[in-house]
Amino acid sequence: MVRISRACATLALVGATMGVAAVPAGAAPAVGQLSTARTAACPTGWGSLAKTGAGATVAPMTDVRTGRHTCFDRMVIDVPGAGSGVGYSVRYVDRLYQDGSGRYIPVAGGAVLEVRVSAPAYDPETGAATYPGRVAQPLPGVNLTGYRTFRDTRFAGSFEGDTQIGLGVRARLPFRVQQLDDRVVVDVAHSWNATS
């Protein structure tokens, strides 16, 4: 009987020691933090219908960058010197076709957003490219590894002062577009519900 008690006590002590050793200090969030992180309130009401904004500029676009956020993935099109007057048209399309030529450009993903900004990807004075994108190729410098919603990007070129980009996403999800100083921002939600 004494041996069984000692064996149980030894096993309990070893188990407790291993449990402490297996979880480094500060590795696990407090219970309140964990439940808050999993149920972060996300914006709703964006919808998936086409969105447009008036405006045009001769200031050329120079960069496209992306970022990951708690509730959405983000694409930013930089147009230095344009102020808040960069027009845009963003909509889901069945297939992406290049303006002017009508060339089909494949974009991977469950759905495709056609992103158009009313700014050229070249200097209107000289015709020199201001953005290094190549037609039908992924956007330079954009790596979508680890994104929850974004799957692919394709540059479709500039035609008559508008620049066209294909954004492949996981599925037809809600999105919003914002005109900010010197840029257009496209956010695509991770889901249709109000939590991340």
pLDDT of residue 82: 93
For the chain, give the percent of residues with pLDDT over 90: 71
Between 104 and 57, where is the model more confident? Answer: 104
Over residues 133-161, the mean pLDDT reads 97
For the chain, give the percent of residues with pLDDT over 70: 78
Classify each residue of 11-23 as buried b or exposed e, where b means 16 or more C-beta atoms within 10 Å of its C-beta. Answer: eeeeeeeeeeeee
Report CA-CA distances (Å) from 178 to 49, 95, 119, 131.
15, 24, 15, 21
For residue 44, pLDDT beyond 80: no
Between 107 and 195, where is the model more confident? Answer: 107
pLDDT of residue 194: 63
**What is the 3-state secondary structure of the chain?**
CHHHHHHHHHHHHHHHHHHHHHCCCCCCCCHHHHHHHHCCECCCCCCCCCEEECCCCCCCCCEEEEEECCCEEEEEEECCCCCCCCCEEEEEECCEECCCCCCEECCCCCEEEEEEECCCCECCCCCCECCCCCCCCCCCCCCCCCCCCEEEEEEEEEECCEEEEEEEECCCCCEEEEEECCEEEEEEECCCCCEC
**At 181, is the pLDDT very low, low, confident or very high (cuts 50, 70, 90)?**
very high
Please check whether residue 90 is in contact with residue 114, taking contact to mean a CB–CB distance below 8 angstroms: yes
φ/ψ of residue 145, rounded to 5: -60, 130
pLDDT of residue 43: 77
For residue 23, pLDDT beyond 50: no
pLDDT of residue 186: 98
pLDDT of residue 37: 46
Average pLDDT, the chain: 84
Q: Which of 9-18, 67-76, 154-163 has the lowest mean pLDDT?
A: 9-18
pLDDT of residue 84: 87
153: its two tokens: 């990007």
